Amino acid sequence: MTGEASIGPICGVTVCTPDLAASETAYVRHLGYRVAGRGLVTESQARLWNRPAAAGLRYLTVRPAAADDFEFRFVETTHGAGYRAFASHGWNAAELIVRDVDALAVTLRESPFEILGPPQDLSFTDAIRAMQVRGPGGEVLYLTQFKRQLESLPSPEARCDVDRVFIVIVAGPSLDDLLAFYGSRYGVPEPQRMESRVKAMSEAFGLDPEHRYQIAALPLRGRCYIEADQMPPQARPPAAPAGQLPPGIAVVSFRAAAGSALACAAGPAGELVESVPAG
């Protein structure tokens, strides 16, 4: 597959949370996001997701301080107890662009976010520095600072202290199936495959921290990416009652380069992919 993907940039991430107020406090007070909307999930939205039991659930949306082109949507649910990112198939993490990850780490010490990994330069370049946190819904966030642009990994500029999501991570039983789905349905070019450590996944399955996983970075429009990870055979879909959204990161929304209608598809790892008309 060559050419350019038909989706991107990432314009929304939907997270299931047991406590809407706790998520609001975490993102507004400690990440500098601002409330953009509140309400109840409509029947039409629940049908779009093919999750009819989600209708009527309370939701909240928040946006970065300096932008309206991306938002987190939190949906209050009661079935996420015991959820752990990187222990099951589906969307497992979201990566945000930040201005100063070390300064942010100081402010997050006394916050609802659990710090999973302190700021450090990536192993392959000192141009990127990142940390990892867990939010009130069990969602895992990577907070990433680019000290300088890399030709091999073009990224958006941080327009405020904590800006938009530019990478989402999906994990499933087959990397081949993930690449085939995004290539055939959304025209994503065939990426280079690689082997990499995924510390959170190794911890979830009791594997050696040095264990290597088959992964690939799928390039989207707008300097955004989907990281696709192949999980161990023992991994299973996340537990959720029939008709409900999965726990943690449930839906990722992307701008569509073409098409006039909002649409949603389920990927091979059970991940929900929402495409939003441009404009």
The model's pLDDT over 121-175, given as tens digits with 9 standing for 90+, comes to: 876 678 889 999 999 999 999 999 998 877 767 788 999 999 999 999 999 999 9
Check residues 179 and 278 and name the one with the higher pLDDT: 179
The model's pLDDT over 182-214, given as tens digits with 9 standing for 90+, comes to: 999 999 998 999 998 898 999 999 999 889 999
Kindly state the tokens that stand for 254: 């992307």
Report how far residue 46's alpha carbon sits from residue 91's, in angstroms, rounded to the nearest whole number: 18
Residue 7 is predicted with a pLDDT of 96
Q: Find out whether the peptide bond into 219 is cis, omega within 30 degrees of 0.
A: no
Average pLDDT on 62-82 reads 95
Identify whether the C-beta of residue 161 lies closer than 8 Å to the C-beta of residue 100.
yes
Average pLDDT on 4-24 reads 97
Helix intervals (H) in the chain: 20-24, 30-31, 43-49, 101-108, 175-186, 199-205
Average pLDDT, the chain: 94
The model's pLDDT over 95-121, given as tens digits with 9 standing for 90+, comes to: 999 999 999 999 999 999 999 989 998
Residue 260 is predicted with a pLDDT of 74
Residue 2 is predicted with a pLDDT of 54
The model's pLDDT over 20-70, given as tens digits with 9 standing for 90+, comes to: 999 999 999 999 999 999 999 999 999 999 999 999 999 999 999 999 999
Residue 122 is predicted with a pLDDT of 76
User: Which band of pLDDT confidence, cut at 50, 70 and 90, is reported for residue 1?
Assistant: very low
Percent of the chain with pLDDT over 90: 83
**Torsion sign across C-alpha atoms 19, 23, 24, 29:** positive
DSSP letters for 143-171: EEEESS-BTTB--PPPSSSEEEEEEEEEE
Q: pTM for the full model? A: 0.95
Where do the domains of the chain lie, and which CATH numbers do they carry? 7-277 (3.10.180.10)
Question: Phi and psi at residue 109, in whole multiples of 5°?
Answer: -60, -40
In one-letter notation, the amino acid at residue 244 is: Q
Lowest mean pLDDT among 42-46, 73-77, 81-85, 141-145: 81-85
Cβ neighbours of 57 (radius 10 Å): 20
Residue 220 clears pLDDT 80, i.e. is over it:
yes
The DSSP code for 27 is I
